[in-house]
């Protein structure tokens, strides 16, 4: 399921980055891969909104909360080796490195699923 959102990959693991590029490209996603600071103003000028950030924990460091607070990203997917105590939210998903390929794809699909409007009028409940 493709979207108009640009997927920004900041993933240092070369194998995982290549696999994500292949899978997301085959699904028709628009994506760019960078080795940059996700808060770099140049990135925000060059990469049009809406954007979704996929970043590994090593590249993220301790900047998660500022990224969430900035509202520069429609969503943030963090790839980590440990998930215990990981924050969660509507715009944030933490995925384990070992399941990153499948979980990134699933997260994008979940975020794009239309919200159910409930039963149709006149339909038996």
Domain that holds residue 93: 6-112
What pLDDT, on the 0 to 100 scale, is given for residue 62? 80
Q: Is 118 within the bounds of a domain?
A: no
Q: Is 119 within the bounds of a domain?
A: no
Q: Is 14 within the bounds of a domain?
A: yes
Nearest to 107 by CA among 52, 28, 45: 52
Q: Is 125 within the bounds of a domain?
A: no
What is the tally of structural domains in the chain? 1
Q: What is the model's pTM?
A: 0.82
> What gap in Å lies between CA 75 and CA 83, rounded to an integer?
18
Burial, 38: exposed, middle or buried (Cβ in 10 Å; 0-12, 13-18, 19+)?
buried
Q: Is 117 within the bounds of a domain?
A: no
Q: Which pLDDT tens digits describe the chain residue by residue (125 residues)?
A: 456 789 999 999 999 999 999 999 999 999 988 887 887 877 777 777 789 999 998 888 788 888 888 878 899 999 988 766 666 678 899 999 999 999 999 999 988 876 554 444 444 44
> What gap in Å lies between CA 95 and CA 34, rounded to an integer?
19
Q: Is 30 within the bounds of a domain?
A: yes
Nearest to 43 by CA among 64, 65, 73, 15: 73
Q: Is 62 within the bounds of a domain?
A: yes
Q: Is 120 within the bounds of a domain?
A: no
What pLDDT, on the 0 to 100 scale, is given for residue 54? 95
What pLDDT, on the 0 to 100 scale, is given for residue 115? 57
């Amino acid at each position: 399921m493709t979207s108009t959102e640009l997927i920004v990959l900041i993933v240092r693991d070369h194998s995982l980055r290549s696999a994500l590029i292949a899978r997301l490209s085959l699904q028709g996603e628009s994506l760019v891969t960078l080795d940059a600071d996700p808060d770099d103003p140049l990135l925000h000028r060059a990469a049009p909104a809406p954007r979704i950030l996929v970043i590994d924990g090593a590249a993220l460091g301790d900047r998660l909360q500022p990224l969430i607070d900035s509202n520069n990203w429609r969503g943030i997917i963090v790839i980590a080796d440990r998930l215990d105590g990981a924050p969660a939210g509507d715009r944030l998903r933490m995925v384990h490195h070992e399941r990153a390929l499948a979980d990134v794809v699933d997260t994008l699909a979940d975020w794009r699923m239309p919200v159910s409007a409930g039963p149709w009028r006149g339909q038996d409940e």
